[in-house]
């Protein structure tokens, strides 16, 4: 079934729900679990010269590392073994790259249906973009209220 699962984790409410889904599925299939946090580089952070100031990049990497550490801690508290990965770049590219590198069987991402269509269209959707780039199957985990409260 699934031997290697990659969970793309951003620390959001939807991400926390997906984290539980990943843990449950990994436990059921006895799959190796990998957790990825991506330090993104929004275009608004770039200067007109086209480079990202080092201190802004370091802040973003620190934020992503904190998110990753939180996710790893939550999984370990529930008794799961997980390998953490930190990447810098565009989330879809980094998720796809690591999934290929790990030879992952499944990618899990969180998603919320609460956002309006216009909002999702304007800011884009990692899950939707992954459909065209992922080297393996994708599971979109919807937010579960009870998962967030635990």
Say what angle helices 91-102 and 126-133 make with each other, to 10 degrees: 50
Instruction: Indicate whether 132 pLDDT > 70.
Output: yes
Q: State residue 109's pLDDT score.
A: 86
Q: For residues 75-94, give the mean pLDDT.
A: 91
Q: What's the mean per-residue pLDDT of the chain?
A: 79
- Hey, what's the torsion of the CAs at 86, 2, 16, 82, to 10 degrees? -50
pTM to 2 decimal places: 0.79
Give the residue, 28 or 44, on which the prediction is more confident.
Answer: 28
């Amino acid at each position: 079934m699934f031997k290697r699962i990659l969970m793309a984790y951003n620390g959001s409410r939807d991400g926390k729900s997906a984290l539980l889904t990943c843990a449950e599925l990994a436990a059921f299939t006895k799959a190796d679990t990998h957790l990825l946090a991506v330090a993104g580089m929004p275009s608004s952070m770039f200067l007109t010269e086209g480079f990202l100031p080092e201190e802004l990049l370091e802040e973003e990497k620190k934020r992503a590392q904190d998110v990753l550490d939180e996710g790893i801690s939550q999984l370990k508290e529930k008794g799961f073994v997980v390998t953490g990965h930190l990447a810098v770049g565009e989330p879809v590219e980094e998720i796809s790259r690591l999934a290929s590198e790990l030879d992952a069987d499944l990618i899990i991402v969180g998603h919320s249906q609460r956002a309006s269509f216009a909002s999702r269209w304007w800011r884009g959707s990692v899950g939707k973009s992954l459909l065209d780039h992922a080297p393996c199957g994708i599971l979109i985990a919807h937010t579960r209220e009870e998962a967030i409260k635990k």
